[in-house]
A and B are shown apart, each in its own frame.
Chain A
Amino acid sequence: MKALGIDIGSLTTKVVILDNDNIVTSVITLSSDEAELSARAAMEQALSQAELTDSNNFYIVSTGMGGKSVPFSQQQKAITTCLGRGIHYFFPSVRTAIDMGAESSTVIRANERGRIVDWANHDKCAAGTGVFLQQMAKLLQMPLEEMSRLSFQAKSRADISGTCAVFAESEVISHVHRDPPTPKDEIIAGIYFSIVSRIMTLCKRIGTEKDVAVAGGVALNNGLVHALEEEIGFRVLVPDTPQIVTALGAALIARENIEKGAK
């Protein structure tokens, strides 16, 4: 029996298949309106990619915003639990993990076994999330990669509110239309700082312990990770595919259940 983890996020659905300790395959697909359909589509793609067919031979754990809406999963687990397990797989030394997702940010503290000690999250406002970052990229009319590249050139940063996505957007518009306009690299640095400052409040709330890792799609943004490192005061660890960490954690829990004799 193989272990399969599904993480259904608001923007993307991730699937990881494990055979013992090895990642057989992983996929990232766009989420649809219905969590179950998203999970099925992503799972089929993963099975096809791994040249596997018999879904009965899987123990499935689902997680994420739509994790509870997957009727064919044997178990549903919280994002925090899966994040702890997943990050421990990549970096056993990590005691603090920051998940920067599309619509929420979560910070966990984990022990030496990847079990959660404490966590905190922002889920009331899109400020500081992937969706917010995408919105800002649209507003500045440049791809996320370009934003990241430009941020390294900034000599100073514009003041951008970190408390509300809507207000932050108005502030960015105001910077763009100033005479003379605020340089884009400074606006980007300001946007990154507003996101990082929100994450730092979560880190302070639960206490940051080394090593620190970053997961979630936003972790692919080098400029933002750099801004985070500057605030936190040391380098953070980023897995090669940070988007799959939570799905991997779900798969690892599925594997634990198989080892305990689950069928």
Chain B
Amino acid sequence: MTTANQEKNKIDAIIRACRLLSRMSQARPDARKSEVLYYQMLSKYYTRLLNAKEEGNFIAAHTVFFPTEILYAMDIVPMHTEATTWMISLFTGECADILSAGAELGLASEICTPHRGLAGAYAIGTLPHPDVMLWSNMVCDNTAKSGEMLMEINHCPGFFIDRPFQQSDEEERYLVGELKDMINFLEEQSGRKMNWSRLEEIVARMDKQIELTREICELRKAVPTPFHPQGFLELVSTDYLLPGQPEAIEYLETLRQELTEMVKTGKGAVSHERFRLMTLFLPPMYLMGFLEKLSQEYGAVSVTEPFFTYWGEGKLDPAKPLESVAKKSYMIPEMRMYGPLDERALGSIVDCAKQYKVDGAIYYADVGCRHTCATIKLFKDILSKIDVPVLTLDCDVVDPTATSAEEVREKLGQFFELLEDR
């Protein structure tokens, strides 16, 4: 049986961790102001979610890469499902209970853990109950079925967005039609009306957010690179949780300013930069602290993450907000691994490696993500042509039983030795 306290405990744990980290950052004389803002931003996102029901708000749980801008414009409280599983792993280090609950639902251990964990978390009532479930085939295949299952577990209505795989004007128009249908569904379910002028503001800010991320990534090309080894996760979380939100702009502007100063003074993120790395897919969240320390120890820093921070070309037009939201779904960095793997997509990985002067790449092969694991060889082969070695590290993004810290240390140590020995 689910109790009110149970329903809140995972979200509450994330908020407490974010507040603690924010206070710890504030107390450190050398802390980045952006780091403080980042934790405050996450804390605010989850506090809003935690208090949503008490404050009479409407919660829409949605899967990854969903057009959250629409939810913000309708004053609906979003809950990014996969990112919330990562946050549970990242901030509490403990996902065993929700993964075990997922297994009790009959979900096989080969299924993507964020989805398995989510199902388990909802089943045992450790996440706020959503009023609606929104999901899509955008852009991971697993999501298309997982969203339906989450809707059934939560006994709530849901809406599936069918997003075309290829991109053309016609396909973008089709997606706009899907978004309109979803807005109608949300208006009907929540009793709230779409605020079109607010959506225009959000799209304008999202365009700025993309531009700021591009500028930050440009600054990261500097040698030594200014952003801390696993810092890209901040950019990913900001994009996933707070698209077009004022606090996201404030955080990114502050970060840009800090990195600009560091580049001007030639200050690097690690004391002695030895290895510039490309990160492919997501590292295990429960090892982020360990990876950060390891990076400092070896002078290894992730300078680029083409699947997460390297936005495609294009601008959003606030005068055409829905069209822009549709267009954005084809501009997201993740399209490089989930979209058509044509010469353009593969070529952009090579360009990225060259532009950021990477010494090597690490592919965090999430065992549950068959979609991305199937592409490893392709990316490895194309990078080997320009003499960039790739380490494939079998792991799981949230499940600590898949790979231990010691195994990761061993393999990364070997890889850094390989890079040094060349």
Contacts and interface: CB of A to CB of B under 8 A. Distances in A.
Q: Do A and B bind each other?
A: yes
A81 B389 contact: no
A81 B418 CA distance: 7
Nearest to B376: A205
Contacts of A123: 407
Contacts of B355: none
Contacts of B417: 77-78, 80-81, 116
A205 B365 CA distance: 14
Contacts, number: 29
A107 to B, nearest CB: 13
Contact of B414 (A80, A115, A117, A205): A80
Interface string A112-131: 00011111100100000000
Contact of A117 (B389, B392, B413): B389
B264 interface: no
In this complex, the interface size class of chain B, counting residues with CB under 8 Å from chain A, is: 10 to 19
B414 A78 contact: yes
Contacts of A81: 414, 417-418, 421
B28 interface: no
B344 interface: no
B395 to A, nearest CB: 12
Instruction: Give the one of B390, B417, B421 with max A CB within 10 A.
Output: B421
A119 B414 contact: yes
Interface string A149-176: 0000000000000000000000000000
B422 interface: yes
A205 B394 CA distance: 13
Interface in B377-391: 384, 389-390
A78 B413 contact: yes
A104 B268 CA distance: 38
Contacts of A78: 413-414, 417-418
Where chain A touches its partner, the secondary structure class is mixed
B421 A118 contact: no
A123 B394 CA distance: 11
A115 B389 contact: no
A67 to B, nearest CB: 11
Where chain B touches its partner, the secondary structure class is helix
B396 to A, nearest CB: 13
A115 B419 CA distance: 10
Interface string A68-101: 0000000001111100000000000000000000
A217 to B, nearest CB: 21
A115 B422 contact: yes
Contacts of A205: 392
Nearest to B414: A78
A78 B420 CA distance: 12
Interface string A204-247: 01000000000000000000000000000000000000000000
A179 to B, nearest CB: 37
B368 to A, nearest CB: 16
B336 to A, nearest CB: 22
A119 to B, nearest CB: 7
B407 to A, nearest CB: 8
B334 to A, nearest CB: 25
A80 to B, nearest CB: 5
Instruction: Give the one of B389, B390, B392, B418 with max A CB within 10 A.
Output: B418
Contacts of A119: 414, 418
A94 B407 CA distance: 28
B105 to A, nearest CB: 26
Contacts of B392: 120, 205
A70 to B, nearest CB: 16
A118 B390 CA distance: 8
Nearest to B394: A124
A80 B418 CA distance: 8
A44 to B, nearest CB: 28
Nearest to B390: A118
A87 to B, nearest CB: 14
Contacts of B414: 78-81, 119
Nearest to A80: B414
Contacts of A79: 414
Contacts of A80: 414, 417-418
20 contacts: A78-B413, A78-B414, A78-B417, A79-B414, A80-B414, A80-B418, A81-B414, A81-B418, A81-B421, A115-B421, A116-B417, A116-B418, A117-B418, A118-B384, A118-B389, A118-B390, A119-B414, A119-B418, A120-B392, A123-B407
Interface of B: 384, 389-390, 392, 407, 413-414, 417-418, 421-422
Given A116-B418, A119-B418, 9 more contacts: A77-B417, A78-B414, A79-B414, A81-B414, A81-B421, A115-B421, A118-B389, A123-B407, A205-B392
